[in-house]
């Protein structure tokens, strides 16, 4: 079984080759430096969540395709056991647990995100047509959409176009946990 860094390197190389992109072209499309992309491909660097999002967005990939093996195709039943795909993250970083990875048949990925106390995470725009559906599971969350921070509490849900800059903020002293379903536009 591949490590996550091996998987990311494999997917990045494969998708660059499939698109016929050089490291320079990929750097320009993603906003990630050529040097960093090379380090990721050589498994010399562990990219941050923010870097992975930039790569996914710039290359028109789902986030989960970079961090999860989805090569077996869709399954009629898929069981996710708690904690099986949670990567250790620094205390001041957005934590991601993939509940259901991107499936082209379904067109979405489903994640549980944990935002530590007093942390703000800003996200670059995703590709055109991407929509996020957020449900707060525990705590209070603020979501930046346009120039407005929208306040959500446990049980609140928000759907928004994610093809523009957006962000997540936790102003409380406790972590906030929320689910995020990211729907990608139909390709094909």
Query: So what's the pLDDT on residue 83?
Result: 57
Over pLDDT 70: what percentage of the chain?
A: 85
Give the residue, 70 or 23, on which the prediction is more confident: 23
Mean pLDDT of 86-105: 72
Rounded Cα–Cα distance for residues 142 and 134 (Å): 11
The span from the first CA to the last CA of the chain, in angstroms, equals 31
Residue range 157-179: average pLDDT?
Answer: 95
**What's the predicted TM-score (pTM) here?**
0.66
Where does the pLDDT of residue 81 fall: very low under 50, low under 70, confident under 90, or very high at 90 and above?
low
Question: When comparing pLDDT for 162 and 70, which is higher?
Answer: 162
Tell me the per-residue pLDDT of 111-149, one tens digit each, with 9 for 90 and over.
999 999 999 999 888 889 999 999 999 999 999 998 999
pLDDT given at position 24: 94
Domain-by-domain residue ranges, the chain? 4-67, 95-183
CATH class label, 95-183: mainly beta
Asked, colleague to colleague, whether 4-67 and 95-183 share their fold, the answer is no
Question: Of the candidates 53, 36, 65, which has an alpha carbon nearest to the alpha carbon of residue 168?
Answer: 53
What is the band of 188 on the pLDDT scale with cuts at 50, 70, 90? Answer: very low
- Judged against a pLDDT cut of 60, whether residue 36 lies above it is answered with yes
CA–CA separation, 19 vs 53, rounded Å?
18
Query: Residue 72: which of 107, 105, 49, 97 has the closest Cα?
Result: 105
Residue 70 has pLDDT above 60, yes or no: no
Beta-carbon contacts of 132 under 8 Å, excluding residues fewer than 6 positions away, are 159, 160, 162, 166, 180, 181, 182, 183
> What's the pLDDT score for residue 1?
52
- DSSP E strand stretches across 67-165: 95-103, 108-115, 119-123, 131-138, 140-145, 148-153, 157-161
Lowest-pLDDT choice from 15-29, 62-76, 101-115, 152-166: 62-76
| Sign of the CA dihedral with 56 first, then 60, 66, and 68 last | positive
Average pLDDT, the chain: 85
Residue 86, beta-bridge partner list: 97
**Yes or no: domain 4-67 corresponds to CATH 1.10.260.40:** yes
Residue (of 126, 163, 121) closest to 146 by Cα position: 163
């Amino acid at each position: 079984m591949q490590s996550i860094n091996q998987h990311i390197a494999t997917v990045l190389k494969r998708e660059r080759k499939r698109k016929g992109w050089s490291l320079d072209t990929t750097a320009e499309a993603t906003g990630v430096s050529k040097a960093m992309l090379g380090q990721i491909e050589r498994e010399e660097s562990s990219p941050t969540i923010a870097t992975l999002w930039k790569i996914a967005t710039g290359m028109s990939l789902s986030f989960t395709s970079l961090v999860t093996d989805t090569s077996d195709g869709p399954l009629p039943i898929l069981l996710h056991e708690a904690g099986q795909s949670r990567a250790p993250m620094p205390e001041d970083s957005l934590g991601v647990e993939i509940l259901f990875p991107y499936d082209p048949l379904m067109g979405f990925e489903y994640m549980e995100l944990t935002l530590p106390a007093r942390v703000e995470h800003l996200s670059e725009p995703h590709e055109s047509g991407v929509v996020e559906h957020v449900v707060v599971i525990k705590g209070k969350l603020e979501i930046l959409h346009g120039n407005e921070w929208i306040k959500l509490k446990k049980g609140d849900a928000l759907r928004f176009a994610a093809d523009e800059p957006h962000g997540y903020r936790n102003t409380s002293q406790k972590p906030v946990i929320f689910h995020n379903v990211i729907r990608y536009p139909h390709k094909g």
